[in-house]
Amino acid sequence: MTLKDLHIDKSWTLFLDRDGVINKKLENDYVKHSTEFEFLDGALNALRILDGIFGTIVIVTNQQSIGKKIILPEDLELIHRNMMYEITFMKGRIDKIYHSPYLAAENHPTRKPGIGMALQAKQDFPHIDFEKSLIVGDSLSDMEFGRNAGMKTVYISPETKADERIDFNFRSLIYFAHSLTQ
């Protein structure tokens, strides 16, 4: 199966992980301030392209830095406000951002691979159909989230990974976006 076989149009929803997909992931650390947030190469252009393809685009991100008391919820809000400003300025679109502040050990249903953030998105956007949704992420937890919700999964990594939870592999968000326009 290829992405073309899915016949993606404006009735589809795109779920995006944040760290490692949109912005550079900090090794053994968290993005704690807007000055530490750095878009990955091509991510802003990818979001502009994806805006023309998907009807709804949301971010779903685990942010246990809040649960660890490394940052405050207001810090995350500021990081996201600045990120959204840049995305909008570059003609991209994110309809809403969902985050789970809980620690991995808490096993909270909103924390990926749980589907709580997907259910929140469906409550906010009732037209969302998980069978017509993709999750793009850089971890197997993201892929499990997609599988648990009934979505197709797109794994972002410089290395192709073979795993039954992964439907499609791409080097980056921009490679994924370009594949939808060819």
Structure-token match 């810090």, residue found: 75
Question: Cα(first)–Cα(last) distance of the chain, in Å?
Answer: 16
DSSP 39-63: BPTTHHHHHHHHHTT-SEEEEEEE-
Residues 6+ apart with CB under 8 A from 182: none
Token pair for 144: 């499990």
- What is the set of active-site residues? 17, 19
- What backbone phi and psi angles, to 5 degrees, belong to 144? -65, -40
- The alpha carbons of the chain give a radius of gyration, in whole angstroms, of 15
